[in-house]
Amino acid sequence: MNLFTYQLKQAFLSLKKKPGFVFSVISTMGITLGALLCVLTLAYVMLIKPLPYTDQERIYKIEQAPFSTTSNNSFQGLSYPAALEIYKQKQQFERVAISYYGEEVLTSSESKPLLSTSYVTPDWLPLFNGNMLMGRTFEQRESLNDFAPTAILSHQTWQEYFDHDNDIVGKKISVKGATFTVIGVLSADFYQPKLGRITQLYLPWGYNTASESQKGHWGRFSRSLTMIAMININFAKEQVEQSLTLATDELWQEKVSSMAYFADWQSKVAMTSLKEVLINKSRDSIYLLIAAALGVVLIALTNISNLFISHITTQASVISVHIGLGAKKHHIGKLILVEALLMMTLAIGVALAVTQLGFHILQSYLADVFSRSQELSIDGITYLLAFTFLIMLSVFYTKVSLSVFNFSQMPKNSGNKGVAGQVKSRVRYFLIACQVSIALTLIFLMLTIYKAAMTEIKTPLGFTSEKIMQLTLVSATNEAISDDENKSMLAEIKRSLSLHANIIAVSQSSSPLAGFRVFRRGLKYEGSTGEERIVAGIKDADAEYFSMLNLTLKEGEVFSKAMIADDQAVMIVNDVMAKEIDANGSVIGKRLSMRGDDYFTIVGVVEGAVKVPDQQSIVRQAYLPAEQLSKQFIFEYRSAQAPTKEVLLNIINSVTSKFGVFEYESVENSQKSLLFSQYLTAYTTSILTIITVVLASLGLYGVTHLSTQMRRFEIGTRMAIGAKGKDIISMVINDNAGAILLGVGVSVLTLLALYFGLGERITSYFTLALIPLFIVTLALISLISFLACYLPLRQYINKPVIHALKGSE
């Protein structure tokens, strides 16, 4: 048996006698390191790891970025004609492709599923290494203006709707009234970039569903359009941007020149690397997660350091024997290192299991936030990090343990009773200051973020959401239906719904939570010079909308049935907007225009603003008469339970089989979905706060408990010569106050550094209103610190002095 194996065996036997200590170390370090490994692997995948596409560093998303030359107004997006114009500039690209997202019913399938569809040009799939399981990808014959009726299925679609049909290539499918031939099925390992919805069916670009007006309008940007290109190896990004700007700006200005609003605008082309696009807004979340995980690990580190110190002081007599027999500091260090390595190896095992669980949670619930979460797996990076932690922590705990002993005095003291290692006051000071600063910083940050999330969750919606359902219909037929027929069917569906015993009222409007269209150019009111415009959110509503949602009418009237039927140019505004138009008088009868001389007359003013999550800044709100072609409904139900989807399908089928149900859920559920990230933030921060408080409490208690134990004879002596309980309490508090104050100081400096270092990203969270929260957090930490000082003393100050002095001789 070599020396290491022998030491390993000795360490195992020694630790076997201390299951509580071993369990605490392995569980605490395992869970916290697992969280850190998970977050660091996520950071690597999201921020560092190259995308799994050939020459991924040359792949960019291309957009237009019009900007006003006289104000700070600007925005970014892509219009249909601009996309086609850029598409033509092929000399700068090795590959370029456009996609138009849509949703179509697979009418050839019995279940008529609604599929996410992408209408793409031929290079779309090759850009993303789209290998085929069978068949072929799109070719030039399916290019821009070619109408080759072909289709490619995603692997999942092939499995789910075509039952793994190995003979699918060459078969016909029906989508949107047209027949397409399946030419291929994508391979299971195709990694689809999350640029919007996950596509289930790819169709040639020529069949895209953009409206004619959209196709010709340079000023109308579409969220459905995405343009991706791999730039030629000989070109730099800036060169391509400049060249494309030159090619499109003049054309853009010419095409929008009729719109007065864009008179002083120019347009440039902006390219964002695909990697940056996929990182999107998740960078801050990742940094926050790293900070939180690091904080918790640091607290765990100080706690476990304390446990190691406590453990090693109980081994003092054994170590004294080793020293007496000639062992030097490095020999003792090796003994401790083997123990530390053994425990850290087990902790890393637990950490890897926790990491895997973390990946599962991220992939299941946070795929929308972290677009590359599907790439997460325990791989080389995770193992490398784990190994690094294993070595670093083992060495760290060995050093901490060794710091307890004064080796120059050990042999001299080894024969004395009661001479254990003493926690050096600077070690205690450091541990306490660390605990306090990390805990105070983390708890304050977590509570701040929690408060912000809860404020959003608790913000009243501004309307009654109880017992309101939202329903969206979808066309379920290949037939072309005229607008009049559609209107008639939809009106009949509305009438049938309202006749159901469990339904009180029906409105042919979208859910209030569907949000407002923001009219960036602003509305002009009659008589204004054209410069005075009111930027507002606009929504379509019908006669039933306002009463159903309990939106209080302050003045005038709501839309009548006649106004909706006749499509009258009327408008209802909220009181915030009314005040903006006329601060003192009535706005009824005033006229507002969205473009040109098409004026809407204000007929009513409603009270307050509807608060849509993510659109809370839109406080000026206006309503226009809803289109009778709208397939969106909301209705109020009577009994405790809303009508089931089957009941609704029966009602709709009693009118027509040409519509199916696309979406059906309560407004309250929709609100919860919209507030998902806020709920998630609130849960995560509250759990992290609790973990931090528990870990910090245990850590502070552990340090002071050990320190108090080590000072037992001193405490006994002081009491023997006349110190009272309160004298001892104030002595311990005074001794620790410096470390606590240092911790508070470091925390304040850290928060200030964050405030000034992160600037705007954090200033929205940090306001003076948080001072009371900081005081509460400080009070919490002070209370924890006080209890940590007081509780370990009780065993001495509440008993006769002899208990503290036992063994001192």
Partner 1 sequence: MSTAILSLHNIGKIFETEELETHALKSINLIINKGDYVSISGPSGCGKSTLLSIMGLLDVSSSGEYFIEGVNVTDLSLDDAAEVRNAKIGFIFQSFNLIDELSVFDNVALPLRYHADKPNNATIKKRVTECLEKVALSHRISHKPNQLSGGQQQRVAIARALVANPAVLLVDEPTGNLDSKSGDQVMDVLDQLNKAGTTICMVTHDPRYADMARTKVQLLDGTILQSPAIKIAS
Using CB under 8 A, list all residues that contact partner 1.
Answer: 425, 713-714, 716-725, 727, 797-798, 800-802, 805, 808-809
Question: Could you tell me the smallest distance in angstroms from the CB atom of residue 809 to partner 1?
Answer: 4
- Which helix H or strand E contains 196, and what residues bound it? none
**Residue number, 762 or 805, with CB nearest to partner 1:** 805
- Which helix H or strand E contains 199, and what residues bound it? none
- DSSP structural state of residue 46: I
For residue 566, the one-letter residue type is D
**Residue number, 647 or 805, with CB nearest to partner 1:** 805
Question: Could you tell me the smallest distance in angstroms from the CB atom of residue 722 to partner 1?
Answer: 2
Query: 3-state class of 68 per DSSP?
Result: strand
Question: Could you tell me the smallest distance in angstroms from the CB atom of residue 422 to partner 1?
Answer: 9
**Residue number, 687 or 802, with CB nearest to partner 1:** 802
**Residue number, 266 or 717, with CB nearest to partner 1:** 717
**Residue number, 268 or 712, with CB nearest to partner 1:** 712
- Nearest 5°: CA angle at 129, between 123 and 130? 75
Alpha carbon distance 606, 694 (integer Å): 49
**Residue number, 666 or 709, with CB nearest to partner 1:** 709
Pair 220, 77: CB distance under 8 Å: no
359: nearest Cα among 44, 680, 676, 41: 41
Alpha carbon distance 165, 307 (integer Å): 61
- DSSP structural state of residue 644: P
Alpha carbon distance 748, 756 (integer Å): 12
Alpha carbon distance 731, 71 (integer Å): 64
* Residue given tokens 């931090």 in the structure block: 692
Alpha carbon distance 494, 517 (integer Å): 24
**Residue number, 739 or 751, with CB nearest to partner 1:** 739
Query: Long-range contact list for 762-769, CB < 8 A, 24+ apart?
Result: 764/452, 765/448, 765/449, 765/452, 766/448
For residue 676, the one-letter residue type is F
Question: Could you tell me the smallest distance in angstroms from the CB atom of residue 429 to partner 1?
Answer: 13
**Residue number, 231 or 432, with CB nearest to partner 1:** 432
Burial 617-639 (b: 16+ CB within 10 A, else e): ebbbbbbbbbbbebbbbbbbbee
508: nearest Cα among 574, 571, 569, 561: 561
In this structure, what token pair is assigned to residue 463?
């309307």
Burial 409-434 (b: 16+ CB within 10 A, else e): ebeebbeeeeebbbbeeebbbbbbbb
Pairing of strands 114-120, 599-606: unpaired
Question: Could you tell me the smallest distance in angstroms from the CB atom of residue 789 to partner 1?
Answer: 17
Alpha carbon distance 737, 739 (integer Å): 5
Alpha carbon distance 79, 584 (integer Å): 41
Question: Could you tell me the smallest distance in angstroms from the CB atom of residue 787 to partner 1?
Answer: 21
Alpha carbon distance 511, 508 (integer Å): 9
Question: Could you tell me the smallest distance in angstroms from the CB atom of residue 806 to partner 1?
Answer: 10
In this structure, what token pair is assigned to residue 292?
């939180």
Question: Could you tell me the smallest distance in angstroms from the CB atom of residue 793 to partner 1?
Answer: 13
Question: Could you tell me the smallest distance in angstroms from the CB atom of residue 412 to partner 1?
Answer: 11
Question: Could you tell me the smallest distance in angstroms from the CB atom of residue 704 to partner 1?
Answer: 17
**Residue number, 565 or 801, with CB nearest to partner 1:** 801
Question: Could you tell me the smallest distance in angstroms from the CB atom of residue 294 to partner 1?
Answer: 34
**Residue number, 647 or 720, with CB nearest to partner 1:** 720
In this structure, what token pair is assigned to residue 709?
């134990």
**Residue number, 141 or 799, with CB nearest to partner 1:** 799
71: nearest Cα among 595, 615, 533: 533
For residue 600, the one-letter residue type is F
**Residue number, 629 or 802, with CB nearest to partner 1:** 802
* Residue given tokens 């695909």 in the structure block: 274
Question: Could you tell me the smallest distance in angstroms from the CB atom of residue 407 to partner 1?
Answer: 15
Question: Could you tell me the smallest distance in angstroms from the CB atom of residue 774 to partner 1?
Answer: 34
Alpha carbon distance 255, 655 (integer Å): 45
* Residue given tokens 């602003």 in the structure block: 522
Pairing of strands 533-541, 621-625: parallel
Question: Could you tell me the smallest distance in angstroms from the CB atom of residue 716 to partner 1?
Answer: 8
In this structure, what token pair is assigned to residue 68?
């006003």
**Residue number, 497 or 719, with CB nearest to partner 1:** 719
551: nearest Cα among 618, 509, 606: 606
Question: Could you tell me the smallest distance in angstroms from the CB atom of residue 728 to partner 1?
Answer: 10
Question: Could you tell me the smallest distance in angstroms from the CB atom of residue 305 to partner 1?
Answer: 22
**Residue number, 9 or 426, with CB nearest to partner 1:** 426
**Residue number, 566 or 727, with CB nearest to partner 1:** 727
**Residue number, 17 or 417, with CB nearest to partner 1:** 417
Pair 788, 693: CB distance under 8 Å: no
Q: What residues contact residue 89 under an 8 Å CB cut-off, 6+ apart?
A: 243, 244, 247
**Residue number, 461 or 805, with CB nearest to partner 1:** 805
How many helices (DSSP H) and strands (DSSP E) are in the chain?
27, 21
Question: Could you tell me the smallest distance in angstroms from the CB atom of residue 307 to partner 1?
Answer: 25
